[in-house]
Each structure stands twice: as structure tokens, then as C-alpha cells.
Amino acid sequence: MKAAILIHSDPKAGEEALGRVFNALAVAHDLKQKDEEVRILFLGTGTRWIAELSKPEHPVHGLFGLVKDKVEGASRGCAVVFGTTDEIQTSEFAFVNDNPIPGTAGLPSVSRLLHEGFSVLVY
């Protein structure tokens, strides 16, 4: 089994968004524990999570630490649009932009993930 977890929820959106990122990371942890291939990508306003989850006082920080080795990266184009470029550049995570959308800095290619046999889960 191969799963790609795309996190779009916005940390500014409150408890519902917190529930989404918590469950996305819990699924990643479950798959990792079963030695399944899993990748996590942050897109859209979800690129804001990288800075939030990196804070030791964040309630999901511990879970994030358990699966951060599964983070493929964050959408470069989305980071530009949602103002998270600096936070991601100073993090340990990479930009992903292998889908060259004209007029953007590029986004992750969902087509690539599907062709590689990943099931795509969106949170």
C-alpha cells in the first residue's frame, strides 16, 4: 500500500482544521507503524501548518515529530500565495513544484503520485 496525504486545512480556521491535521498525521503514523509507504504534502493554506506544528507548545507537535520524516514537502506555489515561503525556507522541509502551472512557482504533481500508485487522501 502507498498513501499520499495532502494537507490543505488552514490552522487559522480553528478546531475543525486542527482535527483535520491531527487525523492526517494519525493516519500517517498508523501507516508508518505498519511499514507502509506514506508521504505527507502541505498545500494551499495547509502550508501554514509547518510553522505551527514546529512549535513545541502546539498540541500536535509530538505527533508531528513522529511522522515528519514522511513529509515530502510543501507546495512552492501555495507558499508564495499564502505567505509561508520564509517559514518553509527556514524549516527542514523542501518545496515541491514538479507540476509547473503557468503563472505560479509550481505545485506538487498529484498526477505523479497517482502514476506511482499512491492512494491520495485529502485533509
User: Mean of the per-residue pLDDT values for the chain?
Assistant: 97
CA–CA distance, 97 with 61 (Å, rounded to integer): 26
- CATH architecture, domain defined by 2-122: 3-Layer(aba) Sandwich (3.40)
Residue 8: exposure state from Cβ atoms within 10 A (0-12, 13-18, ≥19): buried
Q: Per-residue confidence at 117, pLDDT binned at 50, 70, 90?
A: very high
Predicted confidence at residue 81, as pLDDT, reads: 97
Task: Name 39's bridge partners.
Answer: 4
Please calculate the CA angle 103-104-108 and round it to the nearest 5 degrees.
Answer: 140
pLDDT in tens, 37-59: 999 999 999 999 999 999 999 99
> Amino acid identity, residue 16?
E
Predicted confidence at residue 62, as pLDDT, reads: 98
pTM of the model: 0.96
Q: What is the mean pLDDT of residues 90-117?
A: 97
Predicted confidence at residue 106, as pLDDT, reads: 97
